[in-house]
Homo-oligomer: A and B are copies of this chain.
């Protein structure tokens, strides 16, 4: 059985594609809270409002870290997806965190980002462009079966 953490981009359905594609495989998936608004506001919603946006963000980011760290620490494989928009520094942070823990890293991004992600890719055991490639990797790692 493989435990897989899906980190990074939250604005496309790549997680669903992987989870659906891996239907029937012995894989357990985890990931961050992907509701952008809940993720941003969870800290103040539970622990009380902050006047200063910096501490508003801090409360939320630290509460989310409880989930993120457990997810990465429990994982065999951490998949990190970089999309086309935003800075996505938390995705790269997760990749570095996972790398330092010795997790198997799979990085998922389009060819335009290859140069900017070269240090992140260089820490990975696989780099892919499309979610179905991640599904193929999981199937191969579990069963030795290749596509086609």
* Residue positions of A touching B, CB distance < 8 A: 2, 33-35, 38-39, 41-43, 45-47, 50-55, 57-70, 76-77, 82, 86-102, 104, 106, 113-128, 133, 136-137, 140-141, 144-148
Contact = CB atoms under 8 A, between A and B. Distances in A.
Nearest to A148: B45
Given A63-B141, A66-B125, A100-B100, A120 B42 contact: no
A63 B140 contact: yes
8 contacts: A2-B70, A38-B144, A42-B140, A57-B121, A66-B106, A87-B113, A96-B100, A102-B102
- Provide the main secondary structure of the chain A interface: helix
B54 A114 contact: yes
B33 A140 contact: yes
